[in-house]
Amino acid sequence: ETVKLQRLRDVPAITADGAKVTLLANLELVRDTKHATEAGAEGIGLLRTEFMFMNRSDVPNEEEQYEILSTVVKHMDGRPVTVRTLDIGGEKLAYSLGAILDDHVGDAVNPALGVRAIRLSLREPKLFEAQLCAILRAAAHGPVRILLPMITTPGEVKQVRDIVTRLWLRLQRRGVDLPDEVPPIGVMIEIPGAALAADALAQTADFFAIGSNDLTMYTLAIDRADERVAHLYNPLHPAVLRLIEFTVQAALRARIPVSICGEIAGDPRFTPLLLGFGVRELSMSPMALARVKQRILKLDTADAARRARLVMEIADSGRIAALLDDMDGLA
Ligand code: PEP
Ligand code: MG
């Protein structure tokens, strides 16, 4: 079985009816980069940069961040690397940012609804600019995309785009090695309001990455860290699926790339449904790649789309789950 999965590594992910699916890896540590290429990832769909700020008492400077990011970009050897800017705040913490977080989060009653991710970055220009400069410089070594976490409005994207353009020009004036163009700037769709406004966001974003983990948490108002409500956490809730479907539709209409990078992307049980929605880009833990690919090879996209429409007519997550298991049996 393991050998069979390994042999799949160099097989392109193409459905039985010939649709190409791009399979990317999520990274949370630099050493995972090797696992990503070993597992046959066609690029990095989500590089979580939080690890750079963890297990240390000071904040890494631009140079340190550049070293780490350029290592990943070089290792990926021409394959795209999607770098997500810092997603800290709320309950995601990092010791090195202690003082900064005290200022912004402090005694917030609902930290998950407070200063987190892009909200923190926009309030800490020095921190944000160092990270963005490191990303821009790493982009000189291969295709890089910038991904923004916890976006809610097009205004935030425009604000970031202005900052990125200004930094790019500044670095260029200094003669720093840069890519020919400013990298694409995409947004995580992981807040229900962002999903419902996906058509507006698609006008300012170069691509979407759907974060189904937070999208599920915020849609259902379930704190995943709270065991007492964990049993209610369910990405198959029709509300979550409708938001995902709406987001994918908006991206397809605006002709911008859309990927899914939450846990469901790496769960073969969801593969027919996600492809049925029109998704052709999935990003997951390197360990999950082979099994998802195996599922894709047997799939027919017209059939998946038909079944996805059936699923969307069901309002009960238990019955949706049963229907997905049914699809599994048929493939
Ligand atoms: C998500 O929310 O689905 C996601 C991919 O981001 P993270 O799990 O890092 O919050
Ligand atoms: Mg998230």
pLDDT in tens, 296-324: 999 999 999 999 999 999 989 999 999 88
Ligand 1 neighbours (beta carbon < 6 A): 46, 48, 87, 190, 211-214, 261-262
Considering the chain, what percentage of its residues have pLDDT values greater than 90? 83
pLDDT at 52 over 70: yes
What band does 69 get if pLDDT is binned at 50, 70 and 90?
A: very high
Positive or negative, the Cα torsion across 193, 244, 161, 70?
A: positive
pLDDT at 3 over 80: no
Q: Of the listed 261, 284, 320, 324, which one is catalytic?
A: 261
Pair 148, 160: CB distance under 8 Å: yes
Pair 330, 306: CB distance under 8 Å: no
Nearest CA to ligand 1 atom 4: 211
133 is catalytic: no
C-alpha 127/C-alpha 132 separation (Å) is 9
The reply, when asked if residue 110 is annotated as ligand binding, is: no
Neighbours of ion ligand 2 (CB under 5 A): 190, 211, 214
303 C-alpha to center of ligand 2: Å? Answer: 30
91 C-alpha to center of ligand 2: Å? Answer: 11
In tens, the pLDDT along 230-248 reads: 999 999 999 999 999 999 9
The reply, when asked if residue 84 is annotated as ligand binding, is: yes
Report the amino acid identity of residue 159: Q
Alpha helices in the chain, H assignment, sequence order: 2-7, 32-38, 62-76, 98-104, 118-123, 125-138, 154-173, 192-196, 198-201, 212-220, 238-254, 271-277, 289-297, 301-312, 317-330
| DSSP classification of residue 89 | B
Q: Is the pTM of this model over 0.80?
A: yes
